[in-house]
Amino acid sequence: MNPSADSWNGLRAFTAARIALGRTGTSVPMQEALAFRLAHAHARDAVYSALDTAGLLATLPELQLPVGQAHSQASSREQYLQRPDRGRVLDEASRQQLTELAAGVCDITLVLADGLSATATNDHALPLLRLLLPQLQKAGLQVGPVVLAEQARVALGDEIGQLLRARLVLVLIGERPGLSSPDSLGAYFTYAPRPGLTDEVRNCVSNIRPAGLGYELAADKLAFLLREALRRQLSGVQLKDNSGLLEN
């Protein structure tokens, strides 16, 4: 047996995590050192990636929902990263546009946001929605406009949801990239959205991507949780995903 081989090597087939790297003397092999640097570069690129508004606007009509755009008060990517508070508040022009877009009360409105990895939203939001929306419509839920939000933090969705008179807002947003997951999509939702809410009143389904939580399973989890949130009129720590529990 090669003394430098890692006994966990067989487990690498089951995860993208950085395990079983092996060693060369007291260091990792050159190949793994280079792979680490490449992964770090991918993560940095994801943070500075931009929402593909043109591509999304060209594709979103297939969902047959009204589409709007919004921007936070963060005027640049640098300001977005240095001032998280500005990423949680809409600029005045966006408030006006969303007020005009509102067309009565709806059950759910959708926000596609760049967050800390626009790459994740560009790649995974629409494949997820293609599976999720039919389940929501089958449940008789009225889905309101889809809003593309730039320089956005999760809490920006609360103000968007309030302006669009939605009972619940679902924000699909790029999560903070890791060294093996630069394209992880998070789905956050809040019942009765309004500015000033904090994390304990939100739910999250995380790591949505082919190498993480697949689209089909994510859509099923979200459909269950969204239905329950509207039925029970709450979200956050009081709402749990017990969809897989066996009935007695």
Q: Which CATH architecture has domain 65-232?
A: 3-Layer(aba) Sandwich (3.40)
| Model confidence at 205: pLDDT above 90 | yes
Share of the chain above pLDDT 90, in %: 73
Q: What's 122-145 look like in SS3?
A: HHHHHHHHHHHHHHHHHCCCCEEE
State the pLDDT at residue 246: 43
Q: What is the mean pLDDT of residues 153-174?
A: 98
Mean pLDDT (whole number) for 9-20 = 77
| Average pLDDT taken over every residue of the chain | 92
Query: What is residue 13's predicted lDDT score, i.e. its pLDDT?
Result: 76
Band of pLDDT at residue 175, cut at 50, 70 and 90: very high
Q: What is the pLDDT of residues 66-109, one digit of tens each?
A: 999 999 999 999 999 999 999 999 999 999 999 999 988 999 99
Q: Of 6-10, 80-84, 158-162, 221-225, give the lowest mean pLDDT range.
A: 6-10
pLDDT band at 28 (very low <50, low <70, confident <90, very high): confident
| pLDDT value of residue 1 | 43
Q: Where are the domains of the chain?
A: 65-232
Q: Determine contact, residues 161/24, Cβ cutoff 8 Å.
A: no
* DSSP assignment string, the chain: --TTS-TTGGGGGG--SS-----BTTB--HHHHHHHHHHHHHHHHHHT----HHHHHHHGGGG-S-EEEEEBS--SHHHHHH-GGGGGSB-HHHHHHHHHH--S-EEEEEEEEEET-HHHHHHHHHHHHHHHHHHHHHTT--EEEEEEEES--TTHHHHHHHHTTEEEEEEEEEPPPBTTBTT-EEEEEEES--TT--GGGEEEEEEESTTSB-HHHHHHHHHHHHHHHHHHT--STT----TTPPP-
% of residues, the chain, pLDDT over 70: 95
With CA atoms as reference, report the closest residue to 128 among 174, 178, 180, 194: 174
Residue 179 to residue 181: CA distance in whole angstroms: 6
